[in-house]
Structures are given as C-alpha cells and as structure tokens.
C-alpha cells in the first residue's frame, strides 16, 4: 500500500518514510549528530550553487535517467493533478570530484513540456535546481524533510550510489515544490554520506 505522505514512491509502506513540514523534527533528531547534515537539510539556497562554490570545475551533474509515467494517487494529490496524469520524471546524482553527494529526483506534469518549459526535458547534465532558483517568476514553496528508511524504494535507489557498508543506514532527504505557470515541479534531494563532512558555504 502506498504511503500518501510520500509522492516520490508508490510502493513504500507508511512506516518507512514520513515527511515533515516543520524544521523542528530534523533539528531535534540531528542535534547531537556529527557533521553538517542539518545545515544542508535547512539550506535555503540551491544545492547546485552551493556545491559549485565548493567544488568549482570538480562539480558535475550525472543524468541517471528520465521517462514519462502515470502519477500515483499520492503524487497527483500533492501536485494538484488529476489521477493518472502523465508525469515526466528525471533522476540525477550531484557529484563533487566524482564522489556522489546528492541523489535527486524531479517530477512535473508531462503536459508542461509542450509549452514554454519544453526545454526541461532536454537538460541532460545541466542542473534543474539552479535553473528553478534563478527564475524570478517561479515560486519556491516551503521544503519538507524526511528520514529515508533503507528498505524503501527511495532508500534503495539512493543506496545504489554508495559503498555497501553504508547502505543499511537511513538517509535524510528534503522535497520542495516549485510553482510554474503551467503547474508544479516536485524536486526531491537525498543527502548521501559523502556530503556529511562538508560544510555548506556561507551566505553571500
């Protein structure tokens, strides 16, 4: 049975992923954890821009795949779509000096690609997040955070990018909706172990 709180996955059991709209939950859960995970989760800027600042030419986006599929009922509800609406899904990994740092998945109505936003289907290795943050007419909604259980589909997809000894540990993620004139884009970012010891750059 699908978890109605998780639009990125239609097969997870409800106990595996729960999304929180308040920053209080991750703040309490990670208060005593070493590293900079909490700072990344609550980062208000584009992750792409932050990682470009830190890695320069060593930063790159690797496209893992993209395809069209039907929306699940939970995804349709979150994005204010009719059930079984066709979605365009894009999956990438953000790398710094080839180390995987962030696993990212984005969803948007496939119908949006036939209009002014058709270029979103042809980004290739160009980062979507930076593009969304740079558009003044795109509204960024408040992000939500979650601890991702390794047995969930999302956890397994992200774990495929990290060494086996670390694959059984939960990962943390955030998801953000961006409002376009033709609908919403959902961007989910899962933080991999490689980013935990890296401090985000200071705000300009």
C-alpha–C-alpha distance, residues 73 and 156, integer Å = 22
Cβ atoms 105, 90 nearer than 8 A: yes
pLDDT, tens digit, 9 for 90 and up, residues 58-68: 999 999 999 98
Q: Give domain limits for the chain.
A: 46-163+170-195
Nearest to 112 by CA among 136, 88, 135: 88
Domain 46-163+170-195 -> CATH class: alpha beta
- pLDDT computed for residue 7 by the predictor: 42
Exposure b/e, 36-47, CB count within 10 A at least 16 = b: bbbebbebeebb
Strand segments (E) across the chain: 59-70, 86-96, 99-109, 139-140, 144-148, 171-180, 183-191
Q: Is the pLDDT of residue 8 over 80?
A: no
* CA distances from residue 184 to 54, 79, 147, 195 in whole angstroms, order as listed: 30, 6, 24, 28
Q: What is the model's pTM?
A: 0.85
List alpha helices for the chain, DSSP H. 24-29, 37-41, 47-55, 73-78, 128-134, 153-159
Tokens 């992750």 sit on residue = 47
pLDDT, tens digit, 9 for 90 and up, residues 49-105: 999 999 999 999 999 999 989 998 888 888 888 888 999 899 999 999 999 999 999
């Amino acid at each position: 049975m699908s978890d109605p709180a998780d639009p990125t996955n239609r097969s997870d059991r409800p106990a595996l992923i729960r999304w929180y709209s308040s920053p209080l939950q991750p703040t309490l859960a990670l208060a005593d954890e070493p590293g900079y995970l909490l700072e990344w989760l609550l980062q208000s800027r584009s992750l792409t821009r932050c990682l470009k600042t830190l890695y320069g030419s060593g930063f790159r986006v690797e496209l893992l795949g993209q395809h069209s599929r039907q929306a699940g009922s939970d995804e349709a509800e979150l994005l204010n779509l009719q059930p079984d609406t066709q979605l365009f899904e894009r999956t990438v990994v953000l790398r710094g000096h080839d180390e995987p740092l962030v696993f990212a998945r984005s969803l948007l109505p496939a119908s949006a690609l036939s209009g002014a936003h058709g270029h979103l289907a042809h980004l290739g290795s160009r980062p979507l997040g930076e593009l969304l943050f740079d558009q003044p007419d795109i509204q960024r909604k408040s992000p939500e955070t979650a601890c991702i259980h390794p047995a969930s589909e999302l956890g397994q997809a992200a774990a495929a990018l990290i060494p086996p000894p670390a694959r059984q540990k939960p990962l943390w993620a955030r998801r953000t909706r961006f409002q376009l004139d033709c609908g919403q884009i959902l961007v989910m970012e899962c933080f991999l172990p490689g980013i935990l010891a890296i401090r985000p750059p200071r705000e300009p």
